[in-house]
C-alpha cells in the first residue's frame, strides 16, 4: 500500500488530490450521487475515515454533500462541475501507473482479481 501511495503521489499532486481522495473521486466518476454509506461500502472505509475526506473534497469544490430528499438520514455525494472536470486531468494517471509498474494489463487484472478474492474471504470471517 505504501509503495502504491508513493507511486501515485507525484501524479496526484499535479491535480491536487491525495490517494484516498482519488479513490473517492474514482467511485463518483463511475457513479455520481451515491450515499455516504454506499461509498464507504465500495471503498471499505468507515464513516470516521470517510467524513474528513469528504469535507476536504467539498472544501476544494469537487463535491457537494446533500441530504437525500426521500430520507433525510442519508447524505448523497454529488460531483460539482469542477469535480467532473477534474476527471479529464486524472485520465492520464492509470496509464502512468501501468507503465511504472512494469506489469502487463493481464498481470494487473489477475492480481486485482486475487486481491478481491482475498478481501472477500477475509470479510466473510468477521
User: How many other C-beta atoms are found inside a 10 Å radius of the C-beta of residue 54?
Assistant: 20
| Residue 25 pLDDT class (50, 70, 90 cuts) | very high
- Gap between the Cα atoms of 36 and 44, Å rounded: 12
> Please, what is the average pLDDT of the chain?
91
What integer is the mean pLDDT of 34-45?
93
Global confidence as pTM? 0.85
Instruction: Specify the residue for cell string 454509506.
Output: 37
CA distances from 79 to 7, 58, 59 (A): 26, 9, 12
Residue 98: the pLDDT is: 84
DSSP state of 77: E
- Is residue 80 within 8 A of residue 63, CB to CB? The reply is yes
Instruction: Determine the longest span between alpha carbons in the chain, in angstroms.
Output: 48
Q: Where are the domains positioned within the chain?
A: 15-90, 92-126
Residue 122: the pLDDT is: 85
Q: Which fold would CATH assign to domain 15-90?
A: Arc Repressor Mutant, subunit A (1.10.10)
Amino acid at each position: 500500500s505504501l509503495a502504491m501511495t508513493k507511486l501515485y503521489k507525484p501524479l496526484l499532486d499535479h491535480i491536487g488530490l491525495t490517494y484516498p481522495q482519488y479513490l473517492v473521486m474514482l467511485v463518483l466518476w463511475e457513479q455520481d450521487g451515491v450515499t455516504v454509506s454506499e461509498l464507504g461500502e465500495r471503498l471499505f472505509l468507515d464513516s470516521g475515515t470517510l467524513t474528513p475526506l469528504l469535507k476536504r473534497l467539498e472544501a476544494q469544490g469537487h463535491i457537494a454533500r446533500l441530504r437525500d430528499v426521500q430520507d433525510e438520514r442519508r447524505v448523497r455525494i454529488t460531483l460539482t462541475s469542477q469535480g467532473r472536470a477534474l476527471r479529464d486531468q486524472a485520465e492520464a494517471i492509470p496509464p502512468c501507473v501501468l507503465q511504472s509498474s512494469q506489469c502487463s494489463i493481464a498481470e494487473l487484472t489477475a492480481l486485482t482479481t486475487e486481491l478481491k478474492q482475498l478481501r472477500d474471504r477475509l470479510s466473510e470471517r468477521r
